[in-house]
C-alpha cells in the first residue's frame, strides 16, 4: 500500500469528481438508473482503481490481477464510469447506459465489458461469489498475492445469504478477502434504521471472525490506510464499514433515500424542480471541482 501525499489525495479527489459528473451525465441521458449509491461510492472506487488494485486496463484478463466483485449491482454507474476513466473503454460509451444493445446494462453482465468480474443483480449474492473465488485462489495458489474485494450496500445486508457467506469466510480464515460496505444508511424504501436496523454491525461481523474497521468513506487517506491494514491481516477476512453520504457531492440530493433509484429529472421536487435537477447537479460538481483544483498540491 502506497503512502498518499497531499498531491495524491488532491488528484484522487479531482478524479472522483470527474467520475461523479460522468455519473450524472449518464443517468440524464438514460433517463433511468440509480443516483444515491453511485455518487456516494465515487471516492472509494477512485481510490481502488487509481491507487490500490493490481490491474491493467490494457490487459483486463491479466491472471495476477486483483478481483473486484460488485455485489449491489444497481450502483453500476459508478463502476462503469470508473472503468472508463481508468481506460478500459471509451468515456463516450458511458452515454449508452441502459440503451438497447449497449454493453452498459442496468446491472453488470460479466461478459459484456472488460474489467467486469461477475454478473450482479440479485442482492446478497456478491459476497458468496467473492468467498468462492478467494477460497479457490487459496486452494490453487497458497502463496498468491491477489486480493478479492467485495463491495456491498448496507441495505443489502438484509439478505440472509450475506451472513451465510460471512460464516464460511470466517470459518475458512480468508485473509485474501476484503469486504467494503457502503454504510450510507438508506435503501429504496427508507432509512436502514427504520426498514431493518443493522446495529451493532461491527460486532456482528466480529462474531463471524472478521477483522473490522469503521472509516469515513469520503476520507481518501483514511480509506487507503484502512485497506492497507486489511491487506496486512492474516488468519481472518476483513470488512471495512465505510460511512458514506448518499448522493455525495450534490448537497441538495444528499442523504435522501428518494434518490436511491431515481435519476436527475425524475427525483423529488421539494428542493429542486425536475427540470432543473441535472443542471443543478452538474453545476455543483463543477464548482466543487474548481475548489479542489485550487488546493495547494506543492
By the 10 Å C-beta count (0-12 exposed, 13-18 middle, 19+ buried), 255 is classed as middle
pLDDT of 278 over the 50 cut: yes
Domain ranges across the chain: 6-293
So what's the pLDDT on residue 171?
98
Does the CA dihedral 205-206-212-214 come out positive or negative? positive
* Degrees, nearest 5: CA angle 37-43-47: 130
Task: Give the mean model confidence (pLDDT) for residues 146-173.
Answer: 98
Task: Give the mean model confidence (pLDDT) for residues 177-183.
Answer: 98
Are 208 and 167 contacting, i.e. CB atoms less than 8 angstroms apart? yes
Q: CATH: 3.90.600.10, 3.40.50.970, 3.40.1050.10, 3.40.50.300. Which one for 6-293?
A: 3.40.50.970
Q: Measured between alpha carbons, how far is residue 10 from residues 13, 52, 138, 248 in Å?
A: 5, 16, 36, 17
> Each residue of 216-235: pLDDT tens digit?
999 999 999 999 999 999 99
> Each residue of 4-60: pLDDT tens digit?
999 999 999 999 999 999 999 999 999 999 999 999 999 999 999 999 999 999 999
So what's the pLDDT on residue 63?
96
pTM more than 0.75 = yes
By the 10 Å C-beta count (0-12 exposed, 13-18 middle, 19+ buried), 243 is classed as middle
So what's the pLDDT on residue 1?
65
Amino acid at each position: 500500500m502506497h503512502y498518499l501525499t497531499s498531491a495524491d489525495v488532491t488528484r484522487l479527489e479531482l478524479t472522483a469528481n470527474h467520475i461523479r459528473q460522468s455519473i450524472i451525465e449518464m443517468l440524464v441521458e438514460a433517463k433511468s438508473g440509480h443516483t444515491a449509491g453511485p455518487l456516494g461510492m465515487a471516492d472509494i472506487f477512485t481510490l481502488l482503481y487509481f491507487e490500490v488494485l493490481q490491474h491493467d486496463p490494457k490487459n483486463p484478463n491479466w491472471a495476477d490481477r486483483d478481483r473486484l466483485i460488485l455485489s449491489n449491482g444497481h450502483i453500476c454507474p459508478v463502476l462503469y464510469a470508473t472503468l472508463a476513466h481508468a481506460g478500459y473503454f471509451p468515456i463516450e460509451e458511458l452515454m449508452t447506459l441502459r440503451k438497447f444493445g449497449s454493453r452498459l446494462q442496468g446491472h453488470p453482465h460479466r461478459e459484456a465489458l472488460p474489467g467486469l468480474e461477475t454478473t450482479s443483480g440479485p442482492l446478497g449474492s456478491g459476497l458468496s461469489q467473492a468467498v468462492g473465488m478467494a477460497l479457490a485462489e487459496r486452494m490453487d495458489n497458497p502463496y498468491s498475492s491477489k486480493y478479492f474485494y467485495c463491495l456491498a450496500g448496507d441495505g443489502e445486508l438484509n439478505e440472509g445469504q450475506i451472513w451465510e457467506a460471512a460464516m464460511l469466510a470466517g470459518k475458512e480464515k480468508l485473509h485474501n478477502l476484503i469486504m467494503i460496505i457502503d454504510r450510507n444508511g438508506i435503501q429504496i424504501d427508507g432509512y436502514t434504521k427504520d426498514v431493518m436496523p443493522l446495529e451493532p454491525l461491527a460486532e456482528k461481523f466480529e462474531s463471524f471472525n472478521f477483522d473490522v474497521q469503521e472509516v469515513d468513506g469520503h476520507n481518501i487517506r483514511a480509506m487507503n490506510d484502512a485497506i492497507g491494514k486489511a491487506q496486512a491481516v492474516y488468519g481472518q477476512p476483513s470488512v471495512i464499514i465505510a460511512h458514506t453520504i448518499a448522493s455525495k457531492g450534490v448537497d441538495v440530493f444528499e442523504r435522501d433515500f428518494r434518490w436511491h433509484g431515481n435519476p436527475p429529472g425524475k427525483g423529488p421536487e421539494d428542493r429542486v424542480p425536475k427540470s432543473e435537477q441535472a443542471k443543478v447537479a452538474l453545476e455543483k460538481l463543477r464548482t466543487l471541482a474548481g475548489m479542489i483544483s485550487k488546493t495547494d498540491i506543492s
